[in-house]
């Protein structure tokens, strides 16, 4: 959703800001803007269009060594030029860009209006500019003014402030919305997402909640809202500039699908222990005794992360014989959940920014629950809130549709299941079988990827379908849900997932020649049951695409996608890949904007 970028240093800020904003486009936005100091004045450019429109509008004559930029996803007020950030105070001295939501915005706007201030936009952010201006009395620093203003604010923010009267500094603040400072040679970068700055520097500092920083070209100083100085140690980000480039691919989703074998190797690296037939997950900070005392595991995530959690629940139950389930994090805090001290909660998020998941973690912590993060983005809000957990090491995921992160989520949960299993009843021989199965997976995924032409042909045969069913059983049920989700989000074809045995309890009424079903048929103990499912569908004239690792009777299905045999417990990881490719090629045939599907954002940072 919204994105922030800032620059102060020795080069021209305008191209740095525009390039940074372009790198943030993948997050989803509806308007963009920037402000720089030019000839002693704030020069602001905004558009209700794309970053390219902004680039076209910025005058070539404007140069500056300091500036701030923003991509906005509308929450307060429609997506037009006036509501786009940056917002200014009445005198035009102070410009702010802001991510997050100011909850007492209405109250603040009323107070400002009563004090004679005219607000020109419908946004919550504009109030911040006026508040800071009101606090910037003679002699006070911009940082002091920001601190005082923020003490009146309720809500979440990643905030970047530029004052034309202090062009050698920027002030930044964070509460619930990420802010990272990038350290260069006599230049500093600020962003809400390292994607915007990684081509300039990999040395970064993540601000913590309620922290404020003054950033100058030669460094930064941080303190908390209650005025305590803080010391930050810079870290090096894993990602490199090339990770954000398409390379030979037409879009990021296809690139990320093909990166899965390598991404999977990364998440497994150093975490498989052949000698003791177990997993090593140092980041979870739980010793064998603590792991033994876990009575239940509950996975929480949204969308695909929730489906990955369902895969995790099946894996943990099978491998560790500990009861496990998954719940959408978006529902969790609204139902006043019973939080149990003997349950291990796992918060799952690629971005680490999903507000619903973050709120679920906060609710859990408030109630004394122990929660681990399974997060891809290091330094993200959920990773920091959880404090310990498993990083997914999938590398940057740009396409809105999650692929390689989901695969690494499921693989991490296999590791977690293996680890808990091995401190309980799982034998060394069983553990070795799972370790070997995980080791074999990247190469098996390569075999699936090699079938892309076949999958694209099948997608071509079904691209005019208006509705589709995805059918799976037990381990394959979350795979079916994730497959249907992928198809819906990028091709806009309506898809529903059902458990195979549920078909006869209702949905079978919808089966006819216009309702194709993707049926998952792993070669496991339920193979013959799944054959019967296909027969039931075929008997009612429904076309079937079978995804299988077994030997299906000839001509049973209308189309077949083969996946290699793997360790049965790990089938969900392998079965997911062809469904990603099928959705991708359906969307491609239908001419969709695959990386940026309509109405969706990569990081959902609003309720
Ligand atoms: C996945 O394809 C979707 N874009 C979406 O469901 C996503 O998984 C969900 O919004 C959660 O995102 P997160 O993993 O970044 O928390």
* CATH number of residue 299's parent domain: 3.40.50.10490
- 204 falls within a domain: yes
DSSP 334: G
- 600 falls within a domain: no
Which tens digit of pLDDT belongs to each residue from 7-22?
A: 999 999 999 999 999 9
**Which of 498, 479, 508 lies closest to 582, judged by CA?**
479
How many domains is the chain built from? 3
φ, ψ of residue 344 to 5 degrees: the values are -95, 120
Whether residue 530 sits in one domain with residue 468: yes
Q: How many angstroms separate the CA atoms of 212 and 224, rounded?
A: 6
Whether residue 485 sits in one domain with residue 428: no
Instruction: Name the residue at shortest CA distance from atom 4 of ligand 1.
Output: 401
For residue 576, report the distance from its CA to the centre of ligand 1, in Å: 15
Q: How many angstroms separate the CA atoms of 575 and 541, rounded?
A: 25
Ligand 1 pocket, mutate which of 26, 27, 354 (most atoms under 8 A from CB): 354
- Point out the domain boundary residue: 445, 465, 495: 445
Ligand 1 pocket, mutate which of 304, 385, 488, 598 (most atoms under 8 A from CB): 304
For residue 88, report the distance from its CA to the centre of ligand 1, in Å: 34
Asked whether 47 and 32 are in contact (CB, 8 A), the reply is yes
CATH number of the domain that residue 85 is part of: 3.60.20.10
Whether residue 520 sits in one domain with residue 486: yes
Instruction: Name the residue at shortest CA distance from atom 6 of ligand 1.
Output: 303
- 255 falls within a domain: no
**Residue ranges in 96-140 assigned as alpha helix (H):** 105-114, 125-135
pLDDT attached to residue 44: 96
pLDDT attached to residue 563: 97
Cα 351 vs. chain centroid, distance in angstroms?
3
Residues framing ligand 1 (Cβ under 6 A): 302-305, 349-351, 354, 357, 400-402, 489, 603-604
pTM greater than 0.85 (yes/no): yes
φ, ψ of residue 244 to 5 degrees: the values are -100, 5
- 371 falls within a domain: yes
For residue 408, report the distance from its CA to the centre of ligand 1, in Å: 13
Ligand 1 pocket, mutate which of 604, 605, 606 (most atoms under 8 A from CB): 604
* SS3 state of residue 599: coil
Whether residue 292 sits in one domain with residue 176: no
- 100 falls within a domain: yes
- 78 falls within a domain: yes
Q: How many angstroms separate the CA atoms of 516 and 497, rounded?
A: 12
pLDDT attached to residue 59: 86
**Which of 284, 301, 315, 563 lies closest to 440, judged by CA?**
563
Question: Relative to the CA of 603, which ligand 1 atom is closest?
Answer: 15
Query: In 405-554, at which residue ranges do the beta strands (DSSP E only) sit?
Result: 467-472, 494-499, 517-521, 544-548
Whether residue 441 sits in one domain with residue 456: no
How far apart, in Å, are the Cα atoms of 594 and each of 250, 306, 307, 484, 545?
Answer: 10, 22, 21, 15, 22
- 397 falls within a domain: yes
Which tens digit of pLDDT belongs to each residue from 254-264?
A: 999 999 999 99
User: So which residues are the catalytic ones?
Assistant: 2, 602
Q: Kind and range of the H or E element at 301?
A: strand 296-301
Query: In 466-594, at which residue ranges do the beta strands (DSSP E only) sit?
Result: 467-472, 494-499, 517-521, 544-548, 559-562
**Residue ranges in 125-198 assigned as alpha helix (H):** 125-135, 142-150
Segments of the chain scoring below 50 in pLDDT = none
**Which of 192, 184, 155 lies closest to 70, judged by CA?**
192
- 507 falls within a domain: yes
Instruction: Name the residue at shortest CA distance from atom 3 of ligand 1.
Output: 401
Domain region containing 182: 3-237
């Amino acid at each position: 959703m919204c994105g922030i970028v800032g620059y102060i240093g020795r080069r021209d800020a305008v191209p740095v800001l525009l390039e940074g904003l372009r790198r943030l486009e993948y997050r989803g936005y509806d308007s963009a803007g920037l402000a720089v100091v030019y000839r002693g004045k704030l020069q602001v450019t905004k558009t209700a269009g794309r970053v390219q429109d902004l680039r076209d509008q910025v005058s070539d004559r404007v140069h500056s060594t300091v500036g701030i930029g923003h991509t906005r996803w509308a929450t307060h007020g429609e997506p037009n030029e006036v509501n786009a950030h940056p917002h200014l105070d009445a005198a035009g001295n102070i410009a702010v860009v802001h991510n997050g939501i100011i909850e007492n915005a209405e109250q603040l706007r009323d107070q400002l209006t009563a004090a004679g201030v005219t607000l020109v936009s419908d946004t919550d952010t504009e109030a911040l500019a006026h508040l800071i201006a009101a606090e910037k009395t003679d002699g006070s620093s911009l940082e002091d003014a920001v601190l005082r203003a923020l003490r009146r604010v309720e809500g979440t923010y990643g905030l970047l402030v530029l004052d034309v009267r202090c062009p050698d500094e920027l002030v930044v603040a964070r509460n619930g919305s990420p802010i990272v400072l990038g350290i260069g040679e006599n230049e500093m970068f600020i962003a809400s997402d390292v994607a915007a700055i990684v081509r300039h520097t990999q040395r970064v500092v993540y601000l913590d909640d309620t922290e404020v920083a003054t950033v100058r070209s030669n460094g930064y100083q941080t303190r908390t809202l209650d005025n305590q100085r803080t010391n930050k140690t810079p870290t090096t980000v894993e990602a490199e500039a090339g990770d954000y480039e398409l390379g030979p691919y037409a879009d990021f989703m296809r690139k990320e699908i093909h990166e899965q074998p390598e991404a999977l190797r990364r998440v497994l690296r150093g975490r498989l222990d052949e000698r003791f037939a177990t997993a090593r997950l140092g980041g979870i900070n739980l010793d064998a005794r603590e792991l033994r005392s876990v009575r239940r595991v509950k996975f929480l995530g949204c969308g695909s992360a929730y489906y990955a959690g369902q895969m995790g629940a099946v894996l943990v139950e099978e491998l560790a014989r500990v009861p496990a389930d998954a719940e959408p994090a978006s529902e969790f805090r609204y139902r006043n959940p019973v939080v149990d001290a003997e349950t291990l909660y796992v918060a799952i998020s690629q971005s680490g920014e999903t507000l619903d998941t973050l709120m679920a973690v906060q609710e859990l912590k408030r109630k004394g629950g122990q929660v681990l993060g399974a997060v891809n983005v290091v330094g993200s809000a959920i990773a920091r809130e959880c404090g310990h957990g498993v990083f997914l090491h999938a590398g940057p995921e740009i396409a809105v549709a999650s692929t390689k992160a989901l695969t690494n989520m499921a693989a991490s949960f296999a590791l977690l299941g293996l680890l808990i299993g091995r401190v309980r009843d799982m034998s060394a021989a069983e553990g070795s079988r799972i370790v070997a199965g995980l080791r074999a997976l990247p190469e098996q995924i390569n075999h699936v990827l090699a079938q892309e032409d076949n999958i694209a042909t099948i997608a071509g045969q079904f691209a005019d379908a208006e509705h589709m069913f995805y059918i799976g059983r037990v381990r394959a049920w979350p795979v079916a849900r994730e497959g249907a989700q992928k198809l819906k989000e990028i091709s806009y074809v309506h898809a529903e997932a059902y458990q195979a045995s549920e078909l006869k309890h209702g949905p079978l009424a919808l089966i006819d020649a216009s309702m194709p079903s993707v049926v998952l048929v792993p070669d496991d103990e339920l193979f013959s049951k799944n054959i019967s499912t296909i027969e039931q569908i075929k008997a009612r004239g429904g076309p079937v695409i079978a995804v299988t690792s077994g030997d299906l009777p000839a001509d049973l299905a209308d189309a077949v996608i083969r996946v290699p045999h793997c360790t049965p417990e790990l089938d969900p990881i392998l079965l997911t890949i062809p469904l990603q490719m099928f959705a991708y090629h359906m969307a491609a045939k239908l001419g969709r904007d695959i990386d940026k599907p309509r109405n969706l954002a990569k990081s959902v940072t609003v309720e």
